[in-house]
Amino acid sequence: MKAINEILNTFEPVSLKEIDSVKLMDRTDTKFVFNRSKIPEVLSLITEFYKVLQIDGKKISRYKTLYYDTPSFSLYLAHHNGHLNRIKIRHRTYIDSSLGFLEIKLKTNKERTIKTRIKQKETPLSWQTSSIEFIEKSTPFSPEALVPSLWVNYSRLTFVNKQSAERITIDLGLEFLKNEGVQGFNELVIAEVKQEKKKPSPFLKIMKQLHIREGFISKYCLGVTVMYPNLKKNNFKSKLLHLNHILYDSHISFASSR
């Protein structure tokens, strides 16, 4: 982590208020996954093109996220079975900025990600009036049918393009929690390019230069496959195999369609 912090100090900082204009709640996402050993090289190559988010002097932010699903895991299975319109329901706590949001994330059949949210500082373990109204308005699910299914925690670096409306997030220290069970993926790095529409960018060019190809399953789906081993996951097997290569061979990067 020391090497990462030293490189982050070479970036021009940007405040949370300043990046509000680049929220990109309706966007395209391009994901990459690679071994943590590549992080210093990636950061060194993007310094010229991006600013880094800094909150109270910190450039690495901590996130806690609770996902909700039906008892039969309808939301997870929609992704696994390749449904073209998919929903995730989660509460995310931004620990370092003391903010929390209940969020609905829709992946459309046109490969766009549309996120809606309401402020809610505390993570709901049961539904209150405002949450019920939000879920009923934004999803086809009844709140009564949704239960907490998985905690997904990690640290995040956020970068903003100096020239265009583009954000880059790089997630580290991924951790899944269910009841008393914990599974960590400390060697795994997940990077995501968020744009209004897909177009060339310095980060995409650098990923190509480093032979890191696009592709990954969602953090939620990965966590479910790990923490609920009896659930159906055959459609993810090839991706999980590539993921295993990344964790144990820093020279092999994940290569699969989303």
Contact (Cβ atoms closer than 8 angstroms) between residue 109 and residue 131: no
Give the chain's domains with CATH numbers: 2-248 (3.20.100.30)
Q: Give pLDDT tens digits for 28-74.
A: 899 999 999 999 999 999 999 999 999 999 999 999 999 999 999 99
Higher pLDDT, 214 or 111: 214
Instruction: Taking residues 154-159, report their average pLDDT.
Output: 97
Q: How many CA atoms lie within 13 A of 118 on its CB side?
A: 15
Q: How many CA atoms lie within 13 A of 131 on its CB side?
A: 22
Is 80 exceeded by the pLDDT of residue 24?
no
Amino acid occupying residue 16: L
Band of residue 254 on the pLDDT scale cut at 50, 70, 90: very low
For 69-83, 117-131, 144-158, 243-257, which range has the lowest pLDDT when averaged over its residues?
Answer: 243-257
In the chain the first and final C-alpha atoms are separated, in Å, by: 29
Contact (Cβ atoms closer than 8 angstroms) between residue 162 and residue 49: yes
Q: Give pLDDT tens digits for 166-194.
A: 999 999 999 999 998 999 999 999 999 99
Is 70 exceeded by the pLDDT of residue 255?
no
Q: What is the pLDDT of residue 257?
A: 32
Whole-number Cα distances in Å, 123 to 4, 215, 225, 246: 30, 30, 23, 33
Element (H, E) at 104: strand 99-107
Element (H, E) at 115: strand 113-119
Q: Are strands 86-94 and 166-178 parallel, antiparallel or unpaired?
A: unpaired
